[in-house]
């Protein structure tokens, strides 16, 4: 059996992936861009990938493929219907980075809420040493206690964030973009109400036709001027240009992003012009990537392959 790992470095070179070799011959590629996919998977039976597009164009000549293992939870890079028609099963990994992403969500929210970048710079610039009082809180901030934390996407990560935010005394509201949420622990509401009432709004939903460009100019016009937006879901859920305008026109107070419409971030992205880290913090799509999460990701992928070879379905997102 031949396995092709298209983006070996996407899990970090510090993580051992030799466990795949128990299943047969493995060909590793550090990274793979779209135009390289078709040639590299031509004789593969199992594809292990992350962001490389897997669709009719790239899979057409890969006649031996039976399983695609995604090193991710999201599967928007795969044409599921085409794979189903080809009898190619697609397996993802769920719940491997729930705490890591929830932790990063809280970190971004608290850094922006308490304006940590400002105060860190205040001390390091020498301004604190030059003043004659023991404290400084001129750039005002507020408690999380009593604030409304809105969540779009009440899956595993959304529920973990809700639990952590609740521990800080936040009131939790959520909106189900799919309309299929079964969560009854927290208050569910419509999108307009969520936008209007949230002091902090965090995004944890998949990218779909329903969520693409969901947070746009119209959405920002409904949000509080003191609101903080956190996006750790998918970049295209937020309209980049509209977010830039909302920040520079102070329609909202701040935003924390771990995902962008295009990754890596092009220099032409207007958000790169905002240097004030009390207004905008951007991290390079790393909220999922704690050592613990990446180790679990590989272990779970191995279990997906084992299940497939045993004739059972595990984490299959396109059953047939």
153 touches 205 (CB < 8 A): yes
Nearest residue to 315 via CA among 137, 135, 67: 67
CA dist., res. 238 & res. 215, Å (int):
5
Residues in CB range of 243: below 8 A, 6 or more apart = 215, 220, 229, 255, 271
The catalytic residue positions are 234, 263, 285
Per-residue CA distances from 267 to 151, 245, 263, 264, 295 (Å)? 30, 17, 11, 9, 32
Strands of the 2-5 sheet, one edge to the other: 25-28, 2-5, 46-49, 67-70, 89-91
C-alpha separations of 268 from 81, 255, 271, 272 in Å: 34, 19, 9, 8
Please name the residue that has the structure tokens 């309309």: 179
């Amino acid at each position: 059996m031949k396995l092709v790992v298209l983006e070996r470095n996407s899990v970090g070179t510090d993580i051992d992936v030799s466990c795949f070799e128990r299943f047969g011959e493995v060909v590793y590629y550090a990274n793979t861009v779209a135009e390289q996919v078709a040639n590299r998977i031509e004789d593969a039976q199992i594809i292990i990938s992350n962001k490389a597009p897997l669709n009719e164009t790239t899979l057409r000549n890969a006649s031996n493929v039976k399983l695609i293992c995604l090193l991710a939870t999201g599967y928007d890079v795969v044409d599921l219907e085409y794979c189903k028609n080809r009898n190619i099963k697609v397996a993802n990994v769920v719940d491997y980075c729930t705490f890591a992403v929830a932790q990063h969500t809280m970190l971004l929210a608290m850094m922006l809420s308490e304006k940590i970048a400002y105060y860190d710079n205040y001390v390091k610039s020498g301004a604190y040493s030059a003043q004659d009082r023991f404290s400084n809180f001129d750039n005002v901030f507020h408690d999380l206690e009593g604030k409304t934390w809105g969540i779009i996407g009440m899956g595993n990560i959304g529920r973990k964030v809700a639990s952590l935010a609740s521990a800080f005394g936040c009131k939790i509201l959520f909106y189900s973009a799919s309309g299929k949420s079964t969560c009854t622990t927290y208050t569910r509401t419509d999108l307009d109400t969520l936008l209007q009432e949230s002091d902090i709004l965090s995004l944890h939903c998949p990218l779909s036709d329903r969520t693409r460009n969901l947070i746009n100019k119209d959405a920002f016009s409904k949000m509080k001027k003191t609101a903080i937006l956190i996006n750790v879901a998918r970049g295209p859920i937020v309209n980049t240009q509209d977010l830039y305008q909302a920040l520079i026109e102070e329609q909202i107070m701040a935003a924390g992003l771990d995902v962008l419409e295009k990754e890596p971030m092009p220099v032409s992205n207007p958000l790169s012009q905002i240097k004030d880290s009390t207004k905008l913090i951007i991290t390079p799509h790393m909220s999922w990537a704690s050592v613990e999460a990446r180790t679990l990701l590989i272990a779970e992928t191995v279990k997906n392959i084992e299940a497939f070879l045993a004739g059972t379905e595990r984490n299959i997102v396109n059953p047939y």
